A and B are shown apart, each in its own frame.
Chain A
Amino acid sequence: MRRHEWLIEKVLFISAAMAILVIALITVFVVAEGMPLFQNYSLWKFLSGLEWDPNGYVFGIFPMIIGSFYVTLGALILGVPVAVACAVFLAEYAPAWMTRILRPAIELLAGIPSVIFGFWGLVVVVDLIRDHAPGRGLSIVAASIVLAVMILPTVINISEDAIRAVPRSFKEGSLALGATHWQTIRSVILPAARSGILAAIVLGMGRAIGETMAVIMVAGNSPKLALSIWEPVRTLTANVALEMGYAAGDHYRALFATGIVLFIIIMLLNSLIGILPKKAGDER
């Protein structure tokens, strides 16, 4: 009997340890496929090169690093205010009937596949931009709008949790001092929930940087440095997805190396969340 229990505990442990194994395998395999590029090609030229021409053996991903940065920044500028407002509304103002319909709506938005967002972006957002702005519509703006919608659920849910985690006594104290509901939210609740909301924004950022299918369909994918927000842009993710189907040799390795850069950016963002204090009140 005791032996039986011991065996089960080991099986459970091995299942749990799979996560470590998988992360290790992902790191090893992506790095092993990408790293050999730098035996033939300088790392500096790869990261800072302004030109991407696989046929001419030129692999510069600087425009894509900037491209990922642009669309992510755009998504945050457009998405975060709306998302935080939604979170404040849900946590502080929403009548019960509103919560009952808003929450499933947000869940559904989170469940819509990225390829559908991309398709909708292409047929609606890109068309709108083409009709009302310079360029062909496939642009930084289009990608930013689509990504902004996609990160809404992440930012709303985590911000709302952060706002709800603020101790009741903070709010009651403020109200008892004669502050109005809004004054309390602005001066007490939001500052107390600050780190949680920041974590939500960082997670949203991670989602935006890592998003592939939606961006690929609306961003235009030109591997040149974009000079205006109405110009097409190629992100790191798009670079991998677009060319992996037919790449070989150093081109193949350069795409994996693009993946390594993306992976490192995501890991840095993740560790940023670890640094943020976890809950309101922890800073006291």
Chain B
Amino acid sequence: MRRALKIEETIVKIFLWASVILVFACLFAILFDILKQGLPYVTWEFLTAYPEDMGREGGIFPAIVGTIYVVAVSIIVAAPIGILSATYLTEYSRDNAVVRAIRFATDTLAGVPSIIFGLFGLAFFVIFCGLGWSVLSGGLTLAIMVLPTIVRTTEEAIKSVPRAYREGSMALGATKWQTVYKVVLPSAMPGIVTGIVLSIGRSVGETAAVLFTVGGSLFIPHSIFEPANMLSLHLYKLVSEGISFEMGYATASVLIIMILIINITANYLMRRLTAKRLGSGNA
């Protein structure tokens, strides 16, 4: 009996360690394979030149610029709405049917597949609103997609602000909004920024939602009403149409490096946030 148990525990431990190692292996296999084959092609010229011959030659400059534009639009739209929404849900709302409906809507939105956002963006922004294939259509579609992320992370950040801060502010005669604006939101800022950084990461890599909304032009857009290309979209076209795997590897490498930078930033912010909270706990 004892012996059988011992054997079982050993097997379980081996399985657990094997699973963990497998997860690491997957991650490193992906990063290593793409960076190894892609980085040699990532030159200054590749980053700053226009694509030639449908992307077989040349660079990805318009796609980099397009990515930045579209992501900027999405964050500029989603961040204020998301932060205000989370503020309402945590600081103002009472538990009633409307608030439950808002929560349900936010949760549902988080589970909607990106291709559905793409369909909606096409039917609503591109066609119904008449925005056409443009930076604006793509940006607004992505804004809707990342809204739940911003709402959730902001809610978490606001909830972690100690009650005493609010009571102190109220005791000094501040109104509710003054307290929220001057005390609660600034204290929650690192958490909010982390949420925004994570949303940037999601927007940068998103493909399906922008497939029928940004257009995929080979040029740099001059305004938000013009079509643009994005790195993710460019990579998909290069690979799916069999244009060039070398350029695909290189584009994927650039995308991975951007995601790595975004992730490290989010991690750093998160750690600072935790450190600060522990600090205030000791005081």
Name A residues whose Cβ lies closer than 8 Å to a Cβ of B.
Answer: 1, 4-5, 8-9, 11-13, 15-20, 22-23, 25-26, 29-30, 32-33, 81-83, 85-86, 88-89, 93-94, 98, 102, 104-109, 111-120, 122-124, 149, 152, 156, 180, 182-183, 203, 206, 209-213, 216-217, 237, 240-241, 244-245, 255-256, 259, 262-263, 266-267, 269-270
For B234, give the chain A residue with the smallest CB separation: A115
B72 on the A face (CB < 8 A): no
A30 interface neighbour in B26, B120, B236, B262, Cβ under 8 Å:
B120
A17 to B147, CA, bound (A): 12
With both chains docked as a complex, state the minimum distance between the C-beta of B216 and any C-beta of chain A, in angstroms: 9
Of B46-54, B84-92, B161-169, B275-283, the segment with at least 4 beta carbons within 8 Å of chain A is B84-92
For A81, give the chain B residue with the smallest CB separation: B19
Residues in A with CB closer than 8 Å to B98 are 17
A16 interface neighbour in B85, B114, B123, Cβ under 8 Å:
B85
A102 to B34, CA, bound (A): 21
With both chains docked as a complex, state the minimum distance between the C-beta of B238 and any C-beta of chain A, in angstroms: 9
**Can you list 22 residue pairs at the A/B interface with Cβ under 8 Å?**
A8-B177, A11-B84, A13-B92, A16-B88, A16-B93, A20-B101, A23-B105, A29-B124, A32-B123, A82-B23, A94-B20, A98-B20, A107-B263, A108-B260, A112-B30, A112-B259, A114-B205, A115-B235, A117-B30, A210-B115, A212-B114, A245-B211
Total chain B interface residues with beta-carbon distance under 8 A = 86
For B98, give the chain A residue with the smallest CB separation: A17
With both chains docked as a complex, state the minimum distance between the C-beta of A138 and any C-beta of chain B, in angstroms: 12
Residues A113 and B255 in contact in the complex (CB < 8 Å), given A19-B147, A213-B207, A256-B123: yes
Residues in B with CB closer than 8 Å to A118 are 236, 239
Residues A30 and B113 in contact in the complex (CB < 8 Å), given A86-B19, A116-B252: no
Residues in B with CB closer than 8 Å to A183 are 5
The A interface is mostly helix, strand or loop, or mixed, namely helix
Q: Judging by beta carbons under 8 Å apart, are A116 and B19 in contact? A: no
B61 on the A face (CB < 8 A): no
B244 on the A face (CB < 8 A): no
